[in-house]
Structure 1
C-alpha cells in the first residue's frame, strides 16, 4: 500500500480517536482538531519508522499523547481560556427526562475528571472513556502496568473525594 493510501486509511479508521484523545487533554474541540492534523502529519513524515511492533492505533495514541503533553506545557495553552463541553451519546430507549438526568450527571462527572491533573486525567479517560486495557495504556504512556494501575487507583480516589464533596454541598 502506498504511503498516501495508508495515511488516508489511518485517518479514516483512527481520526475520531485522535481528536477525542486530544480533546481530553486540551478541552477545546478546534485545538483538538488542529492537534489531530499535526499528529497525522507527523505520522506521515515518520511512516517509515513505524515498525509494526505495536498496532497502528497504539502508535497514533502515543504520538497524540506526546503531542498533547507538549501542547499542555506550552505557553499558548496556559494563556488559553478553556471551554468545557462534551457531547454524550443518548440511549434511545430512555424517557426524555431520564436521558436529561443521565446526560447532566455524565457531564458533571466528566467535568470533574477534566479538573484532575493531567497524569490522573489521562489514565481515567483512556481506561474508562476509551475502554483501553491497562496493558495498552502502559504501552501508550511508556509506563509499567503497575505504574498505570497505581495512577488509576490514586486518580479514582481523588475523583471519589470530589464527588463526595459535591454531594455533601448538594451540588450533585
Structure 2
C-alpha cells in the first residue's frame, strides 16, 4: 500500500466510517457485528479501489459495498445459527412471563420489528432513505435502480409498513 493509498483510505474511513457503521447496524442490530461488517466494507473498498470508475460518489459506492456485505452476512449460516439460538433462548426464558415481556416492549422496538418483516427490497429503501438519510437519487444510485423504482418501492414500503402496524399494536403516531 502506497502512502497516497493509505492516506486516501484513512480519509474515506474518517469521512464515512460512522455512516457505514450506522447503516450496518440497521441491518444486523448488533454494534459489535456492525463494527466487523464496517471493517469488512472498508477492506473490500480498498481491494476494489482499482475497479472504482468514479461513475458514482465514493459515499454511494461504499454504501453499495456495505449493503452487499450486510446481505451476505444475513444469509450466512453463522447468522442463521445465532438467530435460532437467540430465539430458543428467548422462548425458554419467557415461557412463563410472555405477557409481561410483550407489555414491556417499546413502540420503537415494535416498529423496528415491523420493518424487519418487510421484504428486503422495501427494507433497503426505507433504511437508506430514513436511517441513512440519503436523498432518493442517491438511494437509486446506491441500489443501482432507476429513481422511479425507488419512489415506487418507498411508497409500497410505507403502505406495507402501515398495514403491518395496523395488524399489531396501536401505533397511531407512526401511521
The TM-score range, normalised by the shorter chain, is: 0.7 to 0.9
1:140 to 139, 142, 145: 142
Aligned residue in 1 for 2:103:
none
Q: What are the Cα deviations for residues 36-88 of structure 1, in whole angstroms up to 9, with x where unaligned?
A: 111111111122222222111111001111111222222222222288xxxxx
Aligned residue in 2 for 1:25:
27
Distance 1:36 1:25 in 2: 12
1:75 to 67, 77, 97: 77
1:34 to 2, 23, 36: 36
CA contact (8 A) 2:107 2:171 kept: no
Distance 1:168 1:39 in 2: 38
TM-score by length of 1: 0.77
Aligned residue in 1 for 2:48:
46
Unpaired stretches in structure 2, ≥5 consecutive residues:
87-105
Distance 2:171 2:132 in 1: 30
Structure whose alpha-carbon radius of gyration is higher: 2
TM-score by length of 2: 0.76
2:112 to 110, 119, 122: 110
Aligned residue in 1 for 2:92:
none
Distance 1:81 1:28 in 2: 12
CA contact (8 A) 2:23 2:131 kept: no
Distance 2:21 2:60 in 1: 14
Larger CA deviation: 138-147 vs 56-65: 138-147
Distance 1:46 1:134 in 2: 26
Q: Report the RMSD for the aligned CA atoms in angstroms.
A: 2.4
Structure 1 stretches (4+) deviating beyond 3 angstroms? Answer: 104-108, 167-170
